[in-house]
Structure 1
Amino acid sequence: YKIRRMAVDYNIPVIINLQLAKAIIDAIKNTREKKVEIKSLNEYHQTLKEVYW
């Protein structure tokens, strides 16, 4: 409890879920290896082949 409480107090992210930690590591690796293109949400939606909602 103390570690999470201090993290909240000091605005430090705490990752306690192993799946989330792996996903974050993969995302960081992909960002470093590939050129990441920043798009607005509208631009992203235009690239989708199907609408999921």
Structure 2
Amino acid sequence: MAGLEVTDICKIIAAVFLPPLGVFFERGCGTDLLINILLTLLGYIPGIIHALYIILKY
């Protein structure tokens, strides 16, 4: 696993405050974004967990 870059840290900060924004920065508009929006609407914490998973996965 490579080290974190500055852009990754910015994405993580965005994901904590607005999870879909962090996913959008990482993957763009797609299925992962829609899943994250749904999870965020169902509960803020699941949205954050999913966003962090998407950002840190690659």
Taking structure 2 as the reference length, what is the TM-score of the superposition? 0.31
Larger Rg: 1
Write 1 or 2 for the structure with the bigger share of helix: 2
Between 1 and 2, higher relative CO (CA 8 Å, sep ≥ 6) is seen in 2
Taking structure 1 as the reference length, what is the TM-score of the superposition? 0.34
